[in-house]
Amino acid sequence: MFRRSSSNAFKPYALRSGKPQRRVPGWLIWLLIGIILGIGGIIFVQQNYMPPRLSAQESARITQHMAQVQLVLRNTQQQLEEATQDIQRREAERQEMATELEEARAALAPLQQDLLLLLEALPPDPRGGNLQIRAGRFYNENDALDYHVVLTADGNNRFNGSVQFAVEGRYPSGRVGTVELDPLPLQMNRFDNVHGQVPLPDGMRARQITIRVLDSSGRQQAMRVINTRN
């Protein structure tokens, strides 16, 4: 009389038969949440604590300024390299000059010894003294007097003074006279060669010269009379 119902009876989800459905892993959910929070934090920090983003025009201006700075740096580096090369060149020249100076000193040493020997061979000043007029040579050269005087001094003290010539001679008219020429400055140590030319007044032709050596106070330190050679 009663027919069995063909509808399926209710079964809970956990008791249902068939292939189970996949669930999303929990770690993936937390990873996605962390990424979202991280992006949000970056946006928050950038908007609230970091400087505002530059516009395209500002970025172009900064790029241009950086290019100019780099150009200045390159020019400065080039100038620095050129200055370094110049310093190295000057240092090489200085070392070369120092070597040449040492060679010149080495070559001069025997000449100085020869000169001292020649000075010793010169006859002494007849009047003696610490400062002596060892030799003198005078020539008439046109309207001038050509002179060369050799002086020596004892000790190592530097002498500062002057040399004065009193010239006795004859004028074209036949008149004889004496003129004192302007003093010549003198600075010497052990010896000195005083030489040069000095004009004579009114066509005078010198015959005899009186040499006087004066110190800085005008006191006479040496005197000698020498005749001209022509």
> What is the per-residue pLDDT across 120-142, written as a single tens digit (0 to 9) for each?
778 888 888 889 999 999 999 98
Question: What percent of the chain clears pLDDT 90, i.e. is strictly above it?
Answer: 35
Model confidence pLDDT, tens digit, residues 40-91: 666 666 666 656 666 777 777 778 878 887 888 888 888 888 888 889 899 8
Which option is the CATH number for 131-227: 1.10.4030.10, 2.10.109.10, 1.10.3720.10, 2.60.40.10? 2.60.40.10
Q: What is the mean pLDDT of residues 152-168?
A: 90
Q: 199: pLDDT confidence band, cut at 50, 70 and 90? A: very high
Tokens at residue 28, please?
Answer: 């993936």
The answer, yes or no, to whether residue 5 has pLDDT greater than 60, is no
Give the pLDDT score at 225: 94
C-beta separation of 193 from 214 below 8 A: no
The answer, yes or no, to whether residue 17 has pLDDT greater than 70, is no
CA–CA separation, 223 vs 34, rounded Å? 114
Give the pLDDT score at 223: 94
Which residue has 């400065």 as its token pair? 76
C-beta separation of 165 from 171 below 8 A: no
Q: Where are the beta strands (DSSP E) in 129-190?
A: 131-141, 144-153, 159-170, 176-180, 184-188
Give the pLDDT score at 1: 45
Give the pLDDT score at 53: 64
Give the pLDDT score at 59: 73
